[in-house]
């Protein structure tokens, strides 16, 4: 179930994280271009998160252990349907407080399922979706988190 040609939305808090990662050769630019073209692209191999975030978040593997988490917002009176970049961070199972998936689950206020969970293709049962209020709440919590960390968790 593909929706080619979606706008990419990166909130200012996430843009600062991405700016901090520029030059690391993560494949981030290519991933963002492919997301805009088709978030269901086989080239991205996007995977749905399991558990409570399954209907909301998909993830993409980047280089050097980094991941990009995204969702899709339906068209509203204010904007067209768009891919929303929720966060970019490192997968770090040794320091869970910095692990992208733990951070996302904390920001959404839900439990992270155990490591042996199923990760189906992102668009297998339709694209992930996030509502305006849910996104605003998530971004408020993300801004507070990053302000406290000064984005240091994204640095090697």
Among 57, 54, 76, 75, which residue's Cα sits nearest to residue 67? 57
Look over the chain and give the mean of its residue pLDDT values, rounded to a whole number.
84
Per-residue pLDDT band at 116 (split at 50, 70, 90): low
Among 101, 73, 72, 69, which residue's Cα sits nearest to residue 88? 69
Task: Out of 96-105, 108-117, 122-131, give the one with best mean pLDDT.
Answer: 122-131
Model pLDDT, residue 2? 45
**How many Cα neighbours within 13 Å face the side chain of 100?**
24
Output the pTM of the full model: 0.86
* Domain residue limits, the chain: 7-149
Residue 14 has pLDDT above 60, yes or no: yes
Per-residue pLDDT band at 152 (split at 50, 70, 90): very low
| Residues 49-60: tens digit of each pLDDT | 988 999 999 999
**How many Cα neighbours within 13 Å face the side chain of 84?**
25
CATH ID of 7-149, from 3.30.2310.20, 3.40.50.720, 3.40.640.10, 1.10.287.70:
3.30.2310.20
Model pLDDT, residue 28? 92
What is the spatial distance between Cα 141 and Cα 139, in angstroms, rounded to a whole number? Answer: 5
CA dihedral 110, 74, 60, 64 (to 10 degrees): -90
CA angle 71, 1, 107 (to 5 degrees): 15
Model pLDDT, residue 80? 83
């Amino acid at each position: 179930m593909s929706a080619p040609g979606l706008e990419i939305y990166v909130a200012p808090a996430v843009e600062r994280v991405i700016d901090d990662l520029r030059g690391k050769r993560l494949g981030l630019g290519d991933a963002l271009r492919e997301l805009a073209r088709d978030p269901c692209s086989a080239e991205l191999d996007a995977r749905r998160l399991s558990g409570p975030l399954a209907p909301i978040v998909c993830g993409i593997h980047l280089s050097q252990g980094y991941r990009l988490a995204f969702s899709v917002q339906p068209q509203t009176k204010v904007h067209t349907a768009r891919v929303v970049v929720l966060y970019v961070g490192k997968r770090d199972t040794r320091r869970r407080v910095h692990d992208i998936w733990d951070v996302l689950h904390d920001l959404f206020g839900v439990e992270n399922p155990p490591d042996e969970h199923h990760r189906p293709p992102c668009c297998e049962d339709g694209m992930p979706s996030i509502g305006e209020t849910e996104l605003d709440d998530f971004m408020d919590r993300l801004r507070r988190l990053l302000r406290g960390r000064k984005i240091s968790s994204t640095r090697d």
